[in-house]
Amino acid sequence: MTRLAVWIAAVLFAATPAVAQDLGVDLHGFAEFATGARVRDDPLQEDDILLNEARFRLELEHFTDRAEFAFKSDFTADGLTEEVDVDVRQAVIVVRASDWLDVRAGRQVLTWGTGDLLFLNDLFPKDFVSFFIGREDEYLKAPANALRLTFYSSLVNLDLVATPVFEPDRSITGERLSFFDPGTGTLESATSSGGELTASRPARELGNGELAARLFRRVGGYELALYGYVGFTKQPSAFDPIADMPTHSPLNAYGASIRGAVAGGIAHVETALYDGDDDGGDDPNVANSQFRGLIGYERELAPDLTGGVQYYVERVLDHDQLLAASPNPLFEPSETRHLITTRVTYRLLQQTLTASLFAFASPNDEDMYLRPSLSYAWSDALTVAGGANVMMGGDATFFGQLERGSNVYLRARYSF
């Protein structure tokens, strides 16, 4: 696999500029080196280095009046796994099929919803490992093989996204970052538990895919949306006792959001109901249904200084039944998780230097996560970025379990 990937990369690299030009294809990309290390000792992990990779990105685009082809792939030499990974982030055909229909077919990154680094109705795949170890923000979103149809009308617009084969989050598996296992009540890592955490996926059959829908329109300056999702929990939050491994249980979700200008800033409100596969809430192997709510506000405080604040709540339904049925009630999530986030972004030196601090804190679960970062555009081509991911809290808390994965990182990117 490794050798093949290198060959593919080499051939593409060597051949594409000439071919691209002949075909009228735009060629872009970047080369990036990233390194990062944990700042606390994790006895469960062998390596203090969390990030050590050279990444080459190739982007090809071709446009016609009605259609567009876009290809985007990363080739990453990972010093930790000593492998070369090929991650195709986009291979999509976009067709403006008619006045009222856009079609986007293929591998693509998808996002909707109003939250800032909080996702309620956005049940498209995410990569939490990348997010916590200091890769660029874009890697929080993972690609999926999907068909997106967008219907436009004067009354309302409709987005339909079909993902025929379920695409889960790229979640924490114990490699690089240790995690809390409520089954044992301890922190676990790939080293401590003899391998990465693997989860079973729904069988690859029709009917085991995902369908997401968004109905949206603007009313004056306000954007209104209704959302629906039929699929599976994106995290392996259920346990399959027969296979003796975590799994993804069926999930339906419904929600709504509104976003608009308020007092010189932008306010957003979003709610979602996660209707899980545990109707009475008494199946200890399946996560209970949840209500999620979010309210946020962002505005410019001074030129080039932006501040934002969000309040987010996650309420577990049938919590009493959950506790009653749980073998480890102590490690079950609290009935209501309150979370406050703040963002401060300051751009200096004619916006070539960006300083940012994003903070998550839960007053009732007593865990928090700080994301300071500094990014400097040396030129249009060369950008240098550094920052930290600092997680704190008890072992059984959402961010606290990652405390020993707290890290600092540095990246340099040359774009072309």
Partner 1 sequence: MRQTIARISLLLLLGLGVTVGHAAAQDLTDVAEIVRRANNASYYAGGDGRAQVRMTITDASDRSRVRQFTALRRNISEGGDQDYAVLFSRPADLRNTVFLVNKHVDGDDDRWLYLPSLDLVRRVAAGDKRTSFVGSHFLYEDVSGRRIADDRHELVETTDTHYVVKNTPFDPDGQEFESWTVWIEKATFLPTLMEYVDDAGEVYRRIEALEVQEIDGIPTVTRLRASDLRSGGNTLSEFTDIEYGLGIPADVFTERTLRSPPRRWFSSR
Of 148, 158, 146, nearest in space to 100 by CA: 158
Stretch that binds partner 1, among 15-23, 189-197, 199-207, 301-309 (CB under 8 A): 301-309
Residues contacting partner 1: total by CB under 8 A:
51
Cα(first)–Cα(last) distance of the chain, in Å? 27
Q: Cβ 52 to partner 1, closest distance in Å?
A: 23
Stretch that binds partner 1, among 9-17, 283-291, 344-352, 359-367 (CB under 8 A): 344-352
Residue 98 lies near partner 1 (rule: CB under 8 A): no
Of 166, 106, 117, 110, nearest in space to 142 by CA: 110
Q: Which of 109, 251, 286, 325 binds partner 1 (CB under 8 A)?
A: 109
Residue 275 to residue 272: CA distance in whole angstroms:
9
Q: Cβ 60 to partner 1, closest distance in Å?
A: 13
Residue 386 lies near partner 1 (rule: CB under 8 A): no
Residue 259 lies near partner 1 (rule: CB under 8 A): yes
CA 72 distance to own-chain centroid: 18
Question: By the 8 A CB rule, do 381 and 30 touch?
Answer: no
Residue 266 lies near partner 1 (rule: CB under 8 A): yes
Question: By the 8 A CB rule, do 210 and 230 touch?
Answer: yes
- What residues from 3 to 62 belong to the interface with partner 1 (CB under 8 A)? 28, 30
Residue 155 lies near partner 1 (rule: CB under 8 A): no
Residue 138 to residue 6: CA distance in whole angstroms:
24
Question: By the 8 A CB rule, do 271 and 294 touch?
Answer: yes
- Residues whose CB is less than 8 angstroms from the CB of residue 280 and which lie 6 or more positions away in sequence, other chains included: 318, 321
Residue 221 lies near partner 1 (rule: CB under 8 A): yes
- Which spans of this chain sit near partner 1 (rule: CB under 8 A)? 28, 30, 63-65, 68, 94, 96, 99, 102, 104, 108-112, 137-138, 140-141, 150, 152, 157, 216, 218, 221, 223, 259-261, 264-266, 268, 298-300, 303-304, 306, 347, 350-352, 377, 379-381, 383, 415-416
